[in-house]
A and B are shown apart, each in its own frame.
Chain A
Amino acid sequence: MSAFLRAFAAALLAAFAFPAVAHQVKLGDLTLTDLWTRATPPGARTGAGYLTIANHGAAGDRLVAVATGLAERGELHEMKVEGGRMTMRPLDAGIPIAPGETVTLGPGGLHMMFVGLHDGFVDGGEVAVTLTFEKAGSVETFLHVLPIGAAGPGQDAGGDPAKPHDHEAHDEERR
């Protein structure tokens, strides 16, 4: 099970088990849920952002741009951990959401990255963002700020990212 799948599973679990960060955005055929980020340590120049995008339409769409007034710019990235190495790459073509599909941006996988923070993200606060999709257009909304190291909405915070208790998958990773 890849780190991405694990993060995805964790995010799904979070989405279904703890609908705590309840704030949903409808934009055309898209539904955006679990919009969140983590508080940033003092002096941090970057911050991440996460959400779940469900495409109920008959056509594919694509998250192409993200922005916040708190940072110089927003990018879309994919992070991977393979063989004990972390790699991160910008997704210049954006993040596609196929018709009928749901895509989750979460820790350890796809994420928004805000670069050149003017101000830190404060635990318990909100980060106003503009999300732009190729077809559905732009929407102004916000990300809920959870503590540093939080695993996701409704999960325990404080650096103990809860993982799905999927020991079979866990073992598989070790082989």
Chain B
Amino acid sequence: MNGLRAVRYGAWALVAVALVVAGWLAVTTWTRPDDAAVVTIGAPFSLTNQAGTTVTEAAFKGHPTLIFFGYTYCPDICPTALAEATSWLKELGPDGDRVGVYFVTVDPERDTQEQMASYLSAFDPRIVGLTGPADRVEEMLRAYRVYFRKVETEGGDYLMDHTSSFYLLDAKGELVGLIDQNDEKPEVLARLRRAIAEAA
């Protein structure tokens, strides 16, 4: 009898363990980086904007913030993203001043402060470019869970694979959403207006 009871308790213990494991798996699945709102990202950083001024994580607080991670050697998605951000800021009018918009390089080796300044001059002047020494940039990218990977090509050249969505942070600097290439402009503007209203 005691042996049977032990088996029964053992079985229940196994069920309990299975439930805990399932719960843990569910939580880790929900908190993968692509899912916003439940992810804690970021860490203190110190980078340089295109004017040479130091920018820290404090810049991402007090207002909603949009961040795009890219590089100036990128022929397609990065200029498109920056042109989109420019058009959003234009549409937002004066409210555009209440959103921080950042372009963080994933290629600090080639994207010097001067290069960022020159490149960004084609877009809305409110867009802030961030670069700095490679180790500091990489540390920041990792803290913000950005995907970036160097792909060597012929002739010692390289391309960068990288996260292609804009991050949308709230006024506390927490990630609340992603904006990608498939999102329609009216939808994006509505989200930005809502974020601005919530931060007010």
Contacts and interface: CB of A to CB of B under 8 A. Distances in A.
Interface string B13-31: 0000000000000000000
Contacts of A83: 34
B181 A87 contact: no
B72 to A, nearest CB: 6
A91 to B, nearest CB: 11
Contacts of B72: 41, 43-45
Nearest to B114: A43
Contact of B73 (A45, A86, A161): A45
A158 interface: yes
Nearest to B149: A87
A107 B118 CA distance: 23
Interface string A15-50: 000000000000000000000001011111111100
Contacts of A158: 83, 86-87
B157 interface: yes
Contacts of B46: none
A38 B74 CA distance: 13
B77 interface: yes
Contacts of B12: none
Interface string B161-186: 11111000000000000101110110
B79 A38 contact: yes
Interface in A1-21: 3, 6
A69 B13 CA distance: 73
B181 A41 contact: no
Contacts of A70: none
A41 B86 contact: no
Contacts of B181: 3, 81, 108, 161
A160 B163 CA distance: 20
A135 to B, nearest CB: 24
A89 B164 CA distance: 15
Interface size class of chain A, counting residues whose CB lies under 8 Å from the partner chain: 35 or more
A124 interface: no
Contact of A43 (B86, B119, B161, B163): B119
Contacts of A6: 182
A9 B91 CA distance: 27
A38 B77 CA distance: 12
A54 interface: no
Contact of A44 (B119, B153, B165): B119
Interface of A: 3, 6, 38, 40-48, 75, 79, 81, 83-90, 107-108, 111, 113-115, 147-149, 158-161, 163, 170, 173
Which 9 pairs between the two chains have the least Cβ-Cβ distance? Answer: A149-B83, A159-B83, A43-B118, A41-B122, A86-B164, A159-B87, A48-B75, A159-B84, A46-B75
6 contacts: A41-B118, A84-B178, A113-B75, A149-B80, A160-B84, A161-B84
